[in-house]
Amino acid sequence: MSTLANPPANPAGAVRGWRRLLPGSLFYRVTLIIVVGLAIAQLLTFAAIRYERNMALRELMMIGIERDIASSVAILDRLPAAERAGWLDRLERRNYRFVLGGSAEGTEPGSLQSRQFAAAIVDAMRPFEIVKVGEVAWPPEGLQIQVRVSDGSSVVVHAMRVGMPVSGWVMWLLAAQLLVLAVCAWYAVRLVTRPLAQLSAAADQLGPDLKGRTLAEEGPTEVAHAARAFNAMQQRIAGYMSERVEILAAISHDLQTPITRMRLRTDLMDNEHDREKFRQDLDAMHSLVREGVTYARTLHGAAEPPLRIDADALLESMVADYEDVGQQVRLEGRAGAPIVSRPHALRRILMNLIDNALKFGSDVRLRVHAEDGRMVVSVLDNGPGIPPDELDAVLKPFYRVESSRNRSTGGTGLGLAIAHQLAMAMGAELTLKNRAEGGLEARLTMAAAPARATLQG
């Protein structure tokens, strides 16, 4: 089997390459395609009309010009030789003129159109003798035809084919038409894509609290139907989630009462060893119930309004709180400017991340820096990290990497899930990744620019 030196082109790759050249927005893509398509169609129409008019003009010219030339030659033939020069200007036209005496120059006509043009003139000037027919370089496709009149003198006919003139206002009219079509296409595409943009914005606003804005059910039939379907979907999802959260909250709340009774009964046990074992189990159950209630509240979303806060002061106070209880957390970097956020939700997120880092590592750092116009707060530790295939799974509720099922080492599996839910509710992004030097980095990325809403604080 021989190897091809030049492999065949990949049509799919070429199509993908062209798609990369298109704008990313659907609005601009459709507008560009329509406007370019209209422009091409208009240019093709103009070219077809121009070609047809050229053909019609050539036919008319082939029918009339040879008769005019023949008539002019007949007039010169009947005039006395002394008067012929005075008639040359009168007989001259835009596409032919006459010269007395001399001989024709040029070569045999080459193109088919030139030969047909010359043959038509020669046929019309019979019975005059045609001495020579030549094609000259300038004007293009120009002809010189030497004719001998009855007195034996020569008359040279300088004839040329004249194209169809195009008035300047025609081009301006075509440009104006294209502009009108472009404006109409822009408006039509905007009318079509604006509901899509509104639907996308409403979907983006549909956070964990499922309290997105209701779309207006108006406009064209298809748009109104899509809006009604989206609003109904929001209501159904909100109803399902509300029912789920209420069940979780009710179970977690109702479990607190038997746990309290069991704790009281445990305190009355005589066997100290068994009493301590029961107390540890009850503490684990109580912690799980408390975390379950907290997670249920985060699913309802944050009713806390965004406030203008001093991020550096908030982070410094959190680090000081950990130092007060004997846990070392180092703060690196500064935000340098106030931000707009939900302070209680932000504090809870960072506390969950720091608690998780302290549980598995001894060197915990809280790093703050700006990146692409956004504020990034990272919690870094030197622990064992998380297997790469479980980095996304640990953000789900009740998922624990630690396999011993020991609550003292593995936790309840809700700390990172609560942090993730709160981050989504406040419009931030929480990601986890293993550090190259060992340990885990939990990165919280949030907007650094103040919101346009009324700020408090």
Task: Write out the two tokens for 322.
Answer: 């950990």
Round to whole Å and give the CA distance between 143 and 61. 14
Contacts of 450 (CB under 8 A, 6+ apart): 308, 338, 339, 340
Continuous H helices in 206-220: none
Handedness of CA 389, 392, 398, 402 (dihedral sign): positive
Give the three-class secondary structure for 213. coil
- Fold of the domain spanning 22-204: Beta-Lactamase (3.30.450)
> Is 3.30.565.10 the CATH classification of the domain at 304-447?
yes
Q: What are phi and psi of 425, to 5 degrees?
A: -65, -30
Q: DSSP labels for 360-424?
A: H-S-EEEEEEEETTEEEEEEE--S----GGGTTGGGSTT--S-TT--HHHH--S-HHHHHHHHHH
Q: Which residues of 353-371 are buried (b: 16+ CB within 10 A; e: fewer)?
A: bbbbbbbbbeebbbebeee
Task: Provide the CA 299 distance to its chain's centre, in angstroms.
Answer: 32
The DSSP element (H or E) to which 292 belongs, if any, is helix 272-299
Contact 444, 353 (CB under 8 A): yes
Strand 129-136 to 440-447 pairing: unpaired
Q: What angle do CA 337, 343, 347 make, to 5 degrees?
A: 105
Q: In the block, which residue shows the tokens 């609290």?
A: 209
Do the domains 22-204 and 206-301 sit in the same CATH topology, yes or no?
no
The domain limits of the chain are: 22-204, 206-301, 304-447
Contact 285, 258 (CB under 8 A): no
> Is 3.30.500.10 the CATH classification of the domain at 206-301?
no
Contact 292, 250 (CB under 8 A): no
Contact 442, 357 (CB under 8 A): yes
Give the pLDDT of the chain (457 residues) as one tens digit per residue: 444 445 445 555 554 555 555 566 667 777 777 888 878 887 888 777 777 676 666 655 555 678 888 899 999 999 999 999 999 999 998 889 999 998 999 898 988 888 888 888 888 888 899 999 999 988 887 899 999 999 999 999 999 876 656 667 777 877 888 888 888 878 877 777 777 777 777 777 766 556 667 788 877 777 778 888 888 888 888 777 777 777 777 777 777 778 888 888 888 787 888 888 888 888 877 777 777 666 666 655 555 778 888 889 999 999 999 998 889 899 999 888 888 888 888 888 999 899 889 988 888 999 998 887 788 999 999 988 888 888 888 888 777 775 433 444 555 667 788 888 888 878 888 999 999 888 999 999 987 654 443 333 3
